[in-house]
Each structure stands twice: as structure tokens, then as C-alpha cells.
Amino acid sequence: MQEELSFSFPILSFLTFFPLFGALVIWGLNDQKLVRKATLGIAGVEMTVAALMLVFFVPDTAAMQFSERHEWIPFLGVSYHLAVDGISVLFLGLTAFLTVLLVLYSWDSVTLNPKAFFMSILALETTFMGIFSSIDLIVFFVFWELMLIPSYFLIKLWGPGEDCHGAALKYVLYTLLGSVFMLVGFCLLSLNYFEAKQVYSFDFIDLLSVPIALSDQLLIFWLIFLGLAFKAPVFPFHSWFPHALVQGPIQMSVMFAGIKMGTYGFLRFSMPLLPDASSNETVVAILMTLGLAAVVYGAIVAIIQPDFRRLLVFSSISHLGFVVIGLFALNFQGIQGSLLTMINLGFSTAGLFFLAGFMYERLGHTDVRECTGLAKKMPLLATFMLIIGMASIGLPGTNGFIGEFLILLGVFQAWWVYGAIAVTGVIFAAAYFLWFYERAIFGPLKDSLPAVIPDLNTREWAIGVALSVMIFWIGLYPSPFLRMINGSVQAVVERLEPGTAIAQYEELTYPPTVMKN
Amino acid sequence: MFDLLVLLIPVFPLIAVLANGFFGSRYSHEWAGRLAFGSVGLSFLCALGVFASVLTNPEPRVVIAYSWFFGGNLSVDLAFLIDPLTTIMLLVVTGVGFLIHVYSVGYMHGEEGFTRFFTYMNLFMVSMLLLVMGSNYVVMFIGWEGVGLCSYLLIGYYYEKVSAGKAATKAFVVNRIGDAGFLIAVFLIFSHFGSFDYTTVLSQASSLSTEMATAITICLLIGAFGKSAQLPLYTWLPDAMEGPTPVSALIHAATMVTAGVYMVVRNHVLFDMAPIALTTVGIIGGLTALFAATIGLVQNDIKRVLAYSTVSQLGFMFLACGVGAYTAAIFHLVTHAFFKALLFLSAGAVIHSLGGEQDIRKMGGLYKKIPITHAVFLIGTLAIAGIPPLAGFWSKDEIMAHAFVHGYYHLYILAAIAALMTSFYMFRLTYLTFYGQSRVEPHVAKHIHESPPMMTVPLMILAGLAVVGGFLGVPPEHGWFHGFLHDVATPLGAEVHTVEMGTLLGLMGVAVAIALGGWGLAHYMYSIRPQMANQWAEKSPQVYTTLLNKYYVDEFYDRFIVEPFKKLGMLWDWFDRHVLDRFVNGIGKGTDISAEAITWTEKHVIYAGLNVVGYSNHLLAWSWRKLQSGMVHHYAAIIVIGLAIMIHLVVLWFAGSSSAGSSMY
């Protein structure tokens, strides 16, 4: 059975509901300045607690930690079950980290009803925390769907684009459609459990213990796939993505680009629960094809984008392709690299969206045809863009390299041809980023630009520094992070050995208790 | 003690990077400069200490800094390998690097971006040191891409110039093509050996099949050709001359571009097992040597001539690898570092004294005005042209002799022609720059001045090295240099060729004749009959313009590689906006229509159906029985249908509650 470690303090519930509580508190505040200070305080406390959780997290094991479990809907087997393991733990830290940066970013850039805005951001944080800490499928699904509410309003009400209403609606309907299929998949898992045990359960750990026929696994896999792929978004289900990220506010783009719920779902649920479907030849071939298509397609489309935000959208799609192929390489390096890359994107791609935001606030657009030579006016912006951009294109010494290198290594060991194709993505990435950088940052200053363009202020500088610190930390000394994730990655890899979930459940041991790296 | 010395080598410049990068604006340029060259100087002293230790104990030693990343069956340490090959590279990189840093302080004096410049330069030193010191392919790759980044930053140093930005991007992207090849090779190596460490891989190399060895080495070569600017990936290097001249000397002549040669020699065990790869190295090297030399014949920019000369000389080094003369390749790498750094730096002094002029048609007669620069430049020219007993003679002669003696006559002929051209274009450059009538523009001529000692002293030291550096490898094939590198650079199964002394002396004679021939021709064309060159150019304009335009290779790449990719991007972008997006919107519209259909159904069918309630009860009972069938697929179908109806209702609500349905798209 899955080992579970409990903790004397319900730290995951705190992390999940504290931001929501904070949102209610600032609802009662009337002073605008107080609102943003309170929000920063709440996000800061949240991040401190998340950091403490990372400190107390036991590395090198696959055990579920900080476990909390309470009955919720007993006759359906739904329980309020929160726990984290190596797969999810870093996402909580990342969410808390990015939320603080978002609050700093929004400090005085939000003019339309800042109180509602900050409340939405905090509510969003709650749903993200819930998504990453719940291991009951229904609880997970509830947070997954609740996430749509704050994000819908953030895009619709605070989106700078002309078509932000359309983008918000499209985003909600598109992902809602996918999650319907996912819910069906979850129900089928529970029904399958019922057939074996005569009770219902939606608990991830319970579900691991019953065998599932391959044909059912395949059906459920594709149902869940639709939910995850729409949200991720996996090529070619990405058409809401450019819309929402270009029309919506930068804050939402940062979260969408930085926090990879969709691919997290594959690793969290699909692969351990449906290991035979996940390692099925057809499934792998399809996922690999989609992933590689995303890598190449995203990067080549990104090359010619004149709008920085749209470029980042396609860069993000390309990176997500890397994550997908790494996951479905089905070996240690591939999965480890994918997981690390998902975290990395929260610093690199999300970081570049912050920078796009800085540009947008000063220039009113992020179009490279209308801005050249920004290095002259904004050397700090230029420096941070270089650092974060280099992380994004995987330069050794930055976090991006470790993730991308591991993914490519994993894919290469599984199918070297796929690996060789994916390596071209590395070249295109350099092309799209550097060509943009050359045009926007280098060159003579464009005459049509405003005469006074202030460089980054202290708050913005702090955002850049925080991101850079993480980029170099993970790039140069990733050991603490790798030790946190390695145990669970190993467990997933072992789970993917052929036949684990078809076999009789008496023999199942998921996962082995304590792992050494 | 040894470990500490090794670790300190890259740490000193790293400290300077951090200090100048973060706090450089808080103190004077003077201190930033001192910190920059001082740190490299300290690295050089440590390298000397390491060298002394290696002299007594040449066994390879691994120094582990810390465990970098790991998991599963993989473990990568940030670790350094110290053996004679590394030591030679360390001395070259830190020694020449130190001199160039000192020179740069004088050269860059008063520049606005002075601190930024030295931050990048020191970062380059760190990367280059990781490249040559790394004990596994991944650490080498940090350096490999790191030097590419620094090269990018320094080429784009004058970022306001459009051409500098373009050249920087080009350098990085072309290098990345090579890096991708290198990465594939590294993955292949791991797939086969399960390790990235040189010691493991190279000691087990004999377990490789020839096909695998060929695949690995060909991929490594793509990396080497990108970094070391060989055909067909050389185009970025001439453009890289947009950077400040010390950068060209350090990165694009003495150190970074030789990384490919170092890498091939480091992995020569793998290359020895792959005859096809070796042949490729030799032929590409020979062709590049010749090809670049022909372009060098007609260029008018002093730095571009030197750039093509660098490409050509790197070709010589690869040719040496191709014929199994690994020691000679490294020997030429070392001497080339001396004389090419010297040439670039003295060219920089010329440009400096002329206030930025780089066109040799606007120079001439400078030898009286800047005598020290003239003297050192002349020494550099003599060295590269292969006039004995200067450094270039020994190393180049050794390569050519090795090719000849081992029966690679085709490569020998390529090399001989390239050597003749080298001598010619270098003396052409010298004559046009320093002798003859002054063609300097009058307003510039007034300000011509000799460079400050900060610049001339390093030049004189480099000139000294260019004169005596060759004696490290005398007598050919049996000098101190060869003994030192014997264990790390001797090809597998090398036969001992007993070559008659007469043959060697004869080959030397030919080499000297070639060098003198080039000199004589240049002397005749540019000193005795200076109008002759123009007459030749007018007589065969096609040849001249083709050479002047570098065989139109850049245009070819633009047209057939860059543009098609941009077009593809445009096409796919169109596809994304107009096909994928339309498709989704179409579905959205479709749901609108079906929502209306459902409303209609509700009105006309369901209410009507209420009339037959009795029958429906019957139906319900039947379907309930079906439900209990235990078939997961049936459950799925039912839930999907149910949820689809729910979704339709949601859409209905949206469509009804606002005009969203129409405004949405």
C-alpha cells in the first residue's frame, strides 16, 4: 500500500483555504492601499508556509505526505483527502511563489476595481492549491472546475484585449467540455473499483489497488486525456490558448503559462492509475506524435510572431510538447525531466510574460515592429529578458537546461528518432527568442517610442531578481529539488512496468516505501 | 592542495563576473578593469601550479566539485579532469586570455559599457575553462554553450548597430545547430555507455561497433564544425568581427573557435574507431583551409582578412586530426593562439590609432608612425606565413609533413595551396597596411598615434611567444610538446613510420619555398607593381566579385534555409488562425444550433411524449435493467450522453442570458 505520512498541522488545508479566507478579509477593507498591502501580506504568509512545507517535506521517498483525510460523501466514496508527494509538492511552492510576484506586479497597474482583482487572484490561488494537493478525484475535479470561475472573470473583466469577452467564454467552454469527459473517466474508475470491492471510491490511493482491464484503461485514458489535453493545452487542442493569453491580463497569462495543470494531471492520475494504457503502443505513438508536432510547430510559428505575447504563447506550446514527449518516454529521465520542466516553465515562460507585461505597461503593446532598441532605455529589462530567455531556451547553467536535457535524454533512450527530431526544437527555440531579442532590444531606438521610458522600478526589479535566483538555483544546484521528486518519479516508473494494473491486486505494491536515489 | 588549485581556476573569473556584474557601477572603470584582468592572472598562476603538478605526475586526475544532477541510473557531477591535454589548454586559455584582458583595459578605455564588456569577457573565461576542464560531456556542454552565449553578447556589444545584432543572432543560432549535433552525440554515448564521464567512455570505447562509433563521431563533428567555423557552418565567424577587436582575438581566434579541435582530440579514441569520420574531418578541414584562404585573398577589411585566415587555420587543425596527427593539431592550436591573438590585437592597435578605420584601402605607409605595432604585426605575419624559425612554421610544417608521409597526398596538396595563399594574403595585408603610399584620410592622419603601454606590452609578449613558441615542438614529432601529450593524443594502433631524414628536410624545404613564394608574389603585386592587383580584378571580374562576395554562401543560406522556415512559420500561423481556430469556432456555432434544436425538441417532442407516460415507464424499467448490466462501456455511453445534455443546457443558458453567442467569435 501507499505509505502515507501525516503531519501535526493540517498544512495542506491551510495552504488551500488561507488565500480564500484572505480574499474574504480584504472584501471587508475599503482603503485601496490597505487592500494591496493586505493581499501581499496574505500571499507572503502563504508563501512562507509553502516554503516551510517544502522544508518539512521528506525527500527521497514516494510516500504521500502531510496527509489529511475526512469523509465527505460516504456512499459515493468521496473523501476530503489532501496529500502531496514528489510529483505535486513543488507545484504548491511554485503557485505560492508566483502569486506573490503577481501581487507585486499588480501593485499599481490594476486600475479597474483592484479589490475585486486581488480577491480573484487569491481565489485563484486557492483553487490551484486545491488542484495540486487533492488526491481524491472528486475533490480534485471540484477545484479543477472552480478554477474556471476566477480565471473567467480575470480574463473577461481585466483583459486588455478588445476581444477579452470572447476569449474568456471560449476558454471556459473549451476546457469545460474537456473536463466533462474527464469526469466521466473518473466515474468509470470508481465504477471499476465498485466491481472489485463492492464500494465506491474516488480516492487515488484506493483506486491504485484494483486491477483494470486494458480495454477499460484505454477508454478511461482517452476520456481523461481530453480533459487534461484541453487544459494543458496539448497540440492541436490549443486554440483557446493564444486567445486567452493575448486577450487576457498578463497576470492570467503568467498563471496559464507557468502552472502546468494539464500535464501534471497525466503524471498525477493517468500514468499511475492507467499504467497499461499509458504504456500502450498506440497511445504512446499518438502522444509522442502530438508532442513532437507541438515542439516543432510551436517553435516555428513562434519564429515569425511580431507580438511578444503571441510568440510566448507558441513558445509555451512548444515547451509543453517537450513535457509530453518526456512523460511518454516512460523512463526515469524522461519523466523526471518533464516534471522539472513543468516547474521550470513557472520561472522561464511565466517570467517572460512578466517582462512582456513590463513592456506593455510602458508602451501599450508588445509588438516588435513598433519597438526596437529598448536596451538603451531599459537595460535592466534587457538583462532580465536575456537571463530568463536563456533559461527558456535551455542554456546550460539555467534551470531550463536540466529539464530539457533530461527529457531529451529520456526520449532518446526510448526512441532515438523521436529524440533526434525533438533536438531540432532546441535550434528553433534559439532562433525565435534571439531574433525577437535582436529586434526588440538591440538596434537603434525607434523614433516613434515615447521620449521617456522608465526602466524597471524596484518592485519590477524584485520580480526579475526572484525569478533569476530560482533559475540559477535550479540550474546550478538542483539537488534539493531533484531529491524531492526522485522518489515519486521512481514509483511512477515502476508502476509503468508492463501489467502492474492488470495483474491481481493482491500482488500490487505501489509504490515501494522508501527510495534511494 | 591540487584540488583547491584546480577549483580556483574557474572561480577567480567567476568572482570577477559577479562583482563587476552586480556592483560594477559603484566603482571606477579602473578598478573594474583591474579586477577583470587580475582574476584571469590569478587563474593563470593556478594553472601554472597545476601544470607543475602534472609535469611530475601526468596521470589523469578527476576533481569533483559537487553532484550536479542525478536520478535513476544517471548521475552527473560538476567535475574536472586534469591531464596533459587539459593543462595545455588551460595555459593557453588563461595565459593568452590574461594578455588579451590587459590589452583590453587599454583598448576599451573610456567606453561607456566598459564594465559590461569585462563582465562578459570574464564570463567567457569561466565558460571556456569549464569547457576544457570538464570531466564529462555535460560539463563540457556548459562551457560549450556558455562560450556561445558570451560570444553572442560580445558580438552584440555595440548593440545599437543593426549589423552587430544580426551578427550576434547568427552566431548563436548557427552554433546551436552544431550544439544540437553535439547533444545527439552525447545522448548516443549515454545510451551506449550509460555514463557521461570521459574516463569511462574512452576506456570502454573498444566495445563500440564501427557504425555506432561513426554515428557518434559524425554528430560530434557537427558540433565541432559549428563551434570551430568549418564548412558548411563557418558563415557566422566573419560576421562575428562586429564585436570589439579584443573579442575577436580572444574568442574568435585564440580560444573558443579552437574548442572543436580540442573536442576532437579529447575524443580521438572514438574517432580512431570510425575511419569514415576521420576521412570527413580531414577533407572538411582541407577544403575549409583552402576555401577560406581564397576568400581571404580579396577582402578589404583588416579584421575580415584575419577572420577568414582563422577559418582557414582551423581547417589546418582539423586536417591534422583527420590524418591522425592529434599532437600536431594541438601544437598548431597553441602556436595559432599566439600569432593570431597577436595579429588581431595589433590590428586592433592599428584600428585604434586610426580612430576606428578598418578598410585597408584607406591605410598604407603606417610603419613609421606606429613602429611597435608594425614590428609585432610583421612578426605575426612571418609566423603565420610559415617563415622559419617562427612558431607557425613548425606546427604547419608538421601537419603537412604528417599528411605527406602517411600517404594523404590529396590533403597535402590542399594544405600546400592553402599555405601559399595564407602567405600571400597575409603579406598583402601587411603591405597594404604598413607600406607603400599612405592612403589615410587627411583628417585621420593627423591623429595617428602609437598605442599606450597597456596595449603594446601584451603585444610584445605575444610577439615573443610567436617567435619562440614553435621550439616547444622541435624536432618535429619528437619535441617536448609531443612527449608531454604522448599519452593523451597518440592515435590507436599508430604505426611507427621510419621516415628518412632527407624526406623531412625536403618537405621543410618545400614549406619554406611556399611561404617565401607567397611573400614574393605579394611583394611583387603590392610593392613593386601596386596597380597589378586592380588590373587582375578588372580582367576577371566574375572571379573577383565571387570571391569578394564570399561565394554568395550567405545569400544561398538565406534563400534556401532561413526564408523557407519563415514561410513555413507564416503558413502554420495562418493554419492556426484560420483552420484550427475556425474549426473550434465552428463547433461552438454548431452547439448554438444544436442548442436551438434541443429547445425545439423539448417543446415538440418531450411535451408530446408526456402523453405517453405509461409507455415511458416501461422504457425506463427496461433501461434500468440495461444499466445494471455491469458493462463499463455502457456506463460510459450513458454518462457521456447525460453530460452532453448538461453541456448543451449550459450553452443554452449562455446563449440565452447574453448575446455572447454572436459576439463571441
**pLDDT (tens digit, 9 = 90+) per residue, B485-510?**
888 878 876 666 667 778 888 888 88
- Rg (alpha carbons) of chain B, rounded to whole number: 33
Pairing state between β A65-73 and A78-84: antiparallel
B647 touches chain A (CB under 8 A): yes
pLDDT tens-digit map of B179-200: 999 999 999 999 888 889 998 8
Tell whether the model's pLDDT for residue A131 goes beyond 70: yes
Check CB contact of B169 with chain A, cutoff 8 Å: yes
Q: Given the DSSP bridges, would you call strands A78-84 and B61-71 parallel, antiparallel or unpaired?
A: unpaired
Is A514 in contact with A61 (CB distance < 8 Å)? yes
Residue A349 pLDDT level (bands cut at 50, 70, 90): very high
Given a cut of 60, whether residue B543 has pLDDT beyond it is: yes
Contact A332 B173 (CB under 8 A): no
Evaluate the CA torsion angle B280, B283, B289, B292 in order and state its sign.
negative
Mean pLDDT of B566-573: 83
Of residues B537 and A473, the one with the higher pLDDT is: A473
- Is B34 part of the contact surface with chain A (CB cutoff 8 Å)? no
- Report which secondary-structure segment, H or E, holds A80: strand A78-84
- Does A323 have pLDDT greater than 90? yes
Mutation choice for B interface testing from A177, A318, A332, A406 by most B CBs within 10 A:
A177
Average pLDDT over residues A320-339: 93
Cell (9 digits) for B15? 568572482
8 Å CB contact of A397 and B565? no
Please provide the average confidence, as pLDDT, over all residues in chain A: 88
Angstroms from B133 CA to nearest CA on chain A: 16
**Confidence check: pLDDT of A509 > 50:** no
> Which of B338, B336, B317 has the alpha carbon at shortest distance from B328?
B317
Query: How many whole angstroms separate alpha carbon B661 and alpha carbon B665?
Result: 8
Contact state of B639 with A166 under an 8 Å Cβ cutoff: no
Q: Residues of A with CB below 8 A from B68's CB?
A: 476-479
Transcribe B291-337 into DSSP letters.
HHHHHHTT--BHHHHHHHHHHHHHHHHHHHHHTT-HHHHHHHHHHHH
What is the rounded average pLDDT of the residues B14-36?
88
Q: What's the number of CA atoms in the CB half-sphere (13 Å) around residue A427?
A: 24
Res B324: pLDDT:
86
3-state helix, strand, coil in chain A (%, to 5): 70, 5, 25
CA distance linking residue A66 with residue A70, whole number of Å: 13
* B624, pLDDT greater than 80: no
Considering only CB atoms, A517 lies closest to which of B71, B173, B647, namely B71
What residues does A68 pair with on adjacent strands?
A82
Please tell me whether the interface predicted TM-score (ipTM) of this complex is above 0.90: no
In this structure, what are the phi and psi dihedrals at residue A496, rounded to the nearest 5 degrees? -80, -5
B610's grid cell: 408526456
Cβ within 8 Å, pair A517-B566: no
**Cβ-based neighbours of B162, under 8 Å, separated by 6 or more:** A442, A443, A444
Task: Look at residue B641 and tell me whether its pLDDT is greater than 80.
Answer: no
Query: Does the CB of A421 have a partner CB in chain B at under 8 Å?
Result: no
Checking if the pLDDT of B80 tops 90, the result is yes
- Residue B496's pLDDT is what? 62
Q: Is the pLDDT of residue A211 over 80?
A: yes
Nearest chain B residue to A230 by CA: give it.
Answer: B584
pLDDT band at B81 (very low <50, low <70, confident <90, very high): very high
CB neighbour list of residue B23: distance below 8 Å, 6 or more residues apart: none
H helices then E strands: how many in chain A?
24, 2
Three-state DSSP class for residue B448: coil
How far is A85 from B3, CA to CA, in rounded Å?
A: 39
The per-residue pLDDT of chain B, averaged, comes to: 83
For residue B613, the model assigns a pLDDT of 47
Phi and psi at residue B494, in whole multiples of 5°?
-70, 130
Cβ–Cβ contact B64 with A under 8 A: no
For chain A, how long is the longest CA-to-CA vector? 74
Number of H helices, E strands in chain B: 31, 2
What is the distance in angstroms between the CA of the first residue and the CA of the last residue of chain B?
71
List the one residue out of A199, A198, A207, A152 whose CA is nearest residue A175: A152
Query: Which residue did the predictor score with more confidence, A460 or A371?
Result: A460
Average pLDDT over residues A229-248: 86
Cβ proximity of B196 and B186 under 8 Å: yes
In the predicted model, is pLDDT for residue B539 greater than 90?
no
Whether residue B657 has pLDDT greater than 70:
no
pLDDT class for A503, splitting at 50, 70, 90? very low
The total number of residues written for chain B in this structure: 665
CA distance B471 to B606: 102
pLDDT at residue B546, as a whole number: 79
Q: pLDDT class for A469, splitting at 50, 70, 90?
A: very high
- Cis, peptide link before residue B389, omega less than 30° from 0: yes
Point out the least confidently predicted range of B16-25, B171-180, B184-193, B356-365. B356-365
Length of chain A (residues): 517
Euclidean distance between CA atoms B138 and B131, whole angstroms: 9
Residue A76: band (very low, low, confident or very high) from pLDDT cuts 50, 70, 90:
confident
Radius of gyration of chain A (CA): 22
C-alpha cell at B265: 582530440
- Among the residue ranges B66-75, B444-453, B645-654, the one predicted with the least confidence is B645-654
d(CA B148, CA B151): 5
Torsion over CA: A344, A348, A349, A355 (sign): positive
Q: With CA atoms as reference, report the closest residue to A353 among A375, A384, A326, A380.
A: A384
CA distance B135 to B129: 12
Which of B66, B632, B640, B646 should one mutate to test binding to chain A, selecting the residue with the greatest count of A CBs within 10 A?
B632
Whole-number pLDDT of residue B661 = 37
> Does A142 score more than 70 pLDDT?
yes
Question: Which residues have C-beta within 8 Å of that of residue A451, sequence separation ≥ 6?
Answer: none
User: C-alpha angle B40/B46/B49, rounded to 5°?
Assistant: 150
pLDDT at A343: 94
| Section B603-626 average pLDDT | 51
Alpha-helical segments (H) within B323-408: 326-353, 371-385, 391-405
**What is the mean pLDDT of the segment spanning A451-457?**
84
Least confident of A1-10, A101-110, A214-223: A1-10
Per-residue model confidence (pLDDT) at position A505: 36
The string of DSSP letters for B386-433 reads: T-TTSHHHHHHHHHHHHHHHTT-HHHHHHHHHHHHHHHHHHHHHHHHH
Return the ∠ at Cα B365 (arms to B364 and B371), rounded to 5°: 120
Q: Retrieve residue A329's grid coordinates.
A: 518516454
User: Which residues 391-420 of chain B have a CB within 8 Å of chain A?
Assistant: none
Interface test mutation site (partner B, options A238, A442, A485, max chain B beta carbons within 10 A): A442
0.90 surpassed by pTM:
no
Instruction: Determine which of A194, A237, A239 to mutate to test the interface with B (most B C-beta atoms within 10 Å).
Output: A239
Backbone angles phi, psi at A450, to 5 degrees: -55, 150
**B201 pLDDT above the threshold of 70:** yes
Q: What does the pLDDT read at residue B659? A: 39
Q: What is the pLDDT of residue B644?
A: 60
Residues 224-253 of B with CB under 8 A from A: none
pLDDT tens per residue across span B394-451:
888 889 888 888 888 999 999 999 999 999 899 988 888 888 887 878 887 788 888 8
Return the pLDDT at A506.
Answer: 36
User: Does the pLDDT at position A381 exceed 80?
Assistant: yes
Which chain B residues are Cβ-neighbours of A238 within 8 angstroms?
580
- Comparing B472 with B609, the larger pLDDT belongs to B472
As a whole number of Å, the end-to-end CA separation of chain A is 21
C-alpha cell at B627: 444499466
Classified as helix, coil or strand, A316 is: helix
Name the residue among B169, B635, B663 with its Cβ closest to that of A166: B663
Phi and psi dihedrals of A442, rounded to 5? -80, 180
Which residue of chain A has the CA closest to B180? A423
**Grid coordinates given for B252:** 574568435
